[in-house]
Structure 1
Amino acid sequence: MTVTPVDPASNGPATLDRITGVRLSSVTLPLDTPISDAKVFTGRQRPMTEVAMLFAEISTESGYEGVGFSYSKRAGGRGQFAHAHEIAPVLVGEDPSDIAKIWDQLVWAGASVGRSGLAVQAIAAFDIALWDLKAKRAGLPLAKLLGAHRDSVRCYNTSGGFLQAPIEEVKEKSAAALESGIGGIKLKVGHPDSATDIARVGAVREHLGDGVPLMVDANQQWDRAAAQRMCRAFEEFGLVWIEEPLDAYDSEGHAALAQTFDTPIATGEMLASVAEHADLIRHGGADIVQPDAPRIGGITQFLKVMSLADQRDLQIAPHFAMEIHIHLAAAYQREPWVEHFEWLNPLFNEHLEISGGRMHLSARPGLGVTISDQARAWTVETAEVTG
């Protein structure tokens, strides 16, 4: 008896649609003011003046279109675009609903450059676009497709608390953010003079009052001894968390801080794969995990990190890209926080509603955003891939 092998990658009768084309856009988003955190004050980076965005628009035979994006700060935008352009032909002809399969195909198409960092950040734009498309096909907001636990999430603002801003400006912007409906305030710390950090946090705490949720972020700039001292000093301020007190890959050091102090330790935004998050969680290195969907390869990978965090009863607080993360946070069992940045607002025609300390889901299907004319005007390179 002769058995004819079946190609496991073939599309069968259940296939309802096929991808016909992919449009890639590299967009340079300028910032109104150069931004400095601790990495600038320690000489490791220059002030940030722009964000490189990678947009992917995926079209299908049935007329559906999904929009996704990734990003890079200071460097890497051209690399993301180039890698995405090289592997984009993999998508053409595939069933857009087979998202996990397509993710594997994309990562193997560029296997020689690895499964983390820039390689998966390029894939993220495609993956997010496919999830957007899938939710649009269902006529549902992405959160509802995933299975939402809530229709709004707690949100905090970071953009007013950077280190280049004088403390009076930080106090003014923090109060204005709360007035606009934001639920919490995050301040940058990690100044070379630790007394400056303590004074700035103390001034904002006094200005806003004890009842306002307040977080701080050291952007990986302390060594273990300094982190111990600063975590101890910050205990009096009743912070929601202390973020990235150590190098992002120092899971053991973060675990020691989490076990020693009452204030929760948050980290994870700089990790660039599920495997790196698994290592952090396995070591107990975070009370609050901060994955970033564009940085770890998209929504498919983010859902894996959510599952790992859930198994350990951990909280999550996704980093940046609120247009994506509101949906993922709404689908997490434990009440999360989502980071509010108004920086990306000019890129989209639609904006999220903020009120009562919360960010609210809209009824729009998919991610609920479309690319603005301003984003098109800031486009520096495009590429189209078709069958």
Structure 2
Amino acid sequence: MDRIERVTISSVTLPLSVPVSDAKVLTGRQRPMTEVAVLFAEVTDAGGASGFGFSYSKRAGGPGQYAHACEIAPALLGEDPSDIGRLWDKLAWAGASVGRSGLAVQAIAAFDIALWDMKAKRAGLPLAKLLGAHRDSVRCYNTSGGFLHAPVSSILERAAESLAAGIGGIKLKVGQPSTSVDLTRVTAVREKLGDDVPLMVDANQQWDRPTARRMCRAFEPMNLVWIEEPLDAYDFDGHAALSRAFDTPIATGEMLASAAEHMALIDAGVDIVQPDAPRVGGITQFLKVMAAAERAHLQLAPHFAREIHVHLAAAYPLEPWVEHFEWFDPLFNEHLEIADGRMHLSARPGLGVTVSDQARAWTVATHEVTA
């Protein structure tokens, strides 16, 4: 077998055209988001085969991910790229002093995803087909038009554009200081779109338990697909209690930064899990979360990073959802086909994306290690 001969790491700063705000900004806990830090990794073996992966960070953490990736990358040199599980463990031990969650595994994720991309390319298969796809397309919904900084008129305009473009559902941010404002905004969108359009809301962890119960009760008549992160991401018991108390499904998990944290959430009991492959440590760890969710008969709705998650969602037995964000479009030369409410797999091998010239122009640092 060929051995890994070169690893290239790049830090890319993706600017957002408009600063965006969710409930964390309105509560004063975070500032509006103006950019996303993206970590690229390319792994090349002695035979010239290569794989591409990425991770990301919002608001803070990007330089830390890049620095940690540069530190642990030499552990891959000389290794068989097919031994992905063993290499994940090796990378984790290379950075063991910073633990096995959070920034540490988010840096590993870029390498892990690159190794899976290489494996699928070697097999001549899209990643979903290598994993064992259950479908060739996945239901998708748009979030990027529903942030709290946008007035209702803009949200309705963006929602109409998204639905006309073939996207299947719309998600709105909630968590205003006044809950009545949330109810007014969501009611206006539901009335405009009608009952047949899938509609979700996302509080981004900003309610306490009494407020969450009141809001879940108020939203019950609106036929929502789910209510997302009504409580702190680590309040597993609180989310489970809401899942038991209300008919509207409760979704959470995007902020969890390891497979172990997801196992605790699944054990507590929740309706919909929302793992994020770059945040939990890559595809190797995501597959562990996916298996646990399947055993518990839970719905799956991966967070962000659709270029990765469309493949993973396609391999999940129960019909999932994938989140549509167009923010990463400038980074890649290829884009996923969206039609009839669904995101369609391409026939391209691996992840099916290559890095664009624009991404290279936004690159702020590059590091390479060779055998």
Identify the TM-score tier after normalising by the shorter chain.
over 0.9
Q: CA deviation at 1:207?
A: 0.6
Q: Distance between the aligned counterparts of 2:221 and 2:157, measured in 1?
A: 23
Match of 1:179 in 2: 164
Q: Does 1:132 align with 2:110?
A: no
- In the alignment, is residue 307 of structure 1 matched against residue 291 of structure 2? yes
Alpha carbon RMSD of aligned pairs, Å?
0.4
Q: 2:275 aligns with which of 266, 291, 305?
A: 291
Bigger-Rg structure (1/2): 1
* Among candidates 380, 383, 386, match of residue 364 of structure 2: 380
Q: Deviations over 1:297-333 (max 9, x none)?
A: 0000000000000010001000000000000000000
Aligned to 1:246: 231
> What's 1:329 paired with?
313
Structure 2: stretches of 5+ with no match in the other structure? none
Cα distance in 2 between the residues matched to 1:373 and 1:277? 36
Give ranges in structure 1 of 5+ residues lacking alignment.
1-15
Counterparts of 2:273 and 2:155, CA distance in 1: 26
Offset of residue 139 of structure 1: 0.2
Code of the aligned partner of 2:332: F
1:45 is aligned to 2:25: no
Residue 207 of structure 1 aligns to a residue whose secondary structure is: helix
- Deviation track 1:319-349 (CA, whole Å, cap 9, x = no partner) reads 0000000000000000000000000000000
- Could you report, residue by residue, the CA deviation over 1:69-120 in whole angstroms, capped at 9, with x for unpaired residues? 0000000000000000000000000000000000000000000100000000
Q: What SS is found at the alignment partner of 2:313?
A: helix
Residue identity matched to 2:78? G
Residues 275-299 of structure 1, C-alpha deviations (whole Å, 9 max, x = no match): 1000001011x20000000000000
Q: How many Å separate the matches in 2 of 1:329 and 1:166?
A: 32
Amino acid at match of 1:348: F
Deviation at 1:208, TM superposition (A): 0.5
Q: Indicate the SS of the match to 1:49.
A: strand
Counterpart in the other structure of 1:368? 352
Task: Tell me the amino acid that sits aligned with residue 283 of structure 1.
Answer: A
Choose the corresponding residue for 1:318, options 284, 302, 309: 302
Which residue is 2:213 aligned to?
A: 228
Partner-residue secondary structure (3-state), 1:368? coil
Equivalent residue letter for 1:199: T
CA distance in 1, matches of 2:45, 2:91: 18
After the TM superposition, which residues 87-236 of structure 1 pair with which residues of structure 2 at under 5 Å, given as runs?
A: 87-236=72-221
Q: CA deviation at 1:62?
A: 1.2
- What is the deviation of 1:365? 0.1
Instruction: Say which SS state the counterpart of residue 329 (structure 1) adopts.
Output: helix
Distance 1:182 1:87 in 2: 39
| Superposed counterparts of 1:12-91, under 5 Å | 16-91=1-76
Question: In structure 2, the residue corresponding to 1:215 is in which secondary structure?
Answer: strand
Q: Structure 2: how far apart are the matches of 1:32 and 1:300?
A: 33
Aligned length: 371
Distance 2:123 2:291 in 1: 24
Partner of 1:13: none
In 2: Cα distance, 1:275 partner to 1:294 partner: 15
Matched AA of 1:190 = G
Partner of 1:359: 343
Q: Residues of 2 paired with 1:255 and 1:181: CA distance?
A: 33
Q: SS where residue 169 of structure 1 aligns?
A: helix
Q: What is the CA–CA distance in structure 1 between the aligned matches of 2:247 and 2:159, rounded to whole Å?
A: 25
Q: Percent identity?
A: 76
Q: Deviations over 1:202-257 (max 9, x none)?
A: 00001101000000000000000000000000011000000000000000000110
AA aligned to 1:304 is K
Pairwise CA distance, 1:67: 0.3
TM-superposed CA distance for 1:17, in Å, is 1.3
- The alignment's TM-score, normalised by the length of structure 1, stands at 0.96
For 1:155, the aligned partner's letter is: C
TM-score normalised according to structure 2 size: 1.00
Which consecutive segments of 4 or more residues in structure 1 shift more than 3 A?
Answer: none
How far apart, CA to CA, are the structure 2 residues paired with 1:125 and 1:242?
A: 30
CA distance in 1, matches of 2:68, 2:112: 14
SS of alignment partner, residue 87 of structure 2: helix
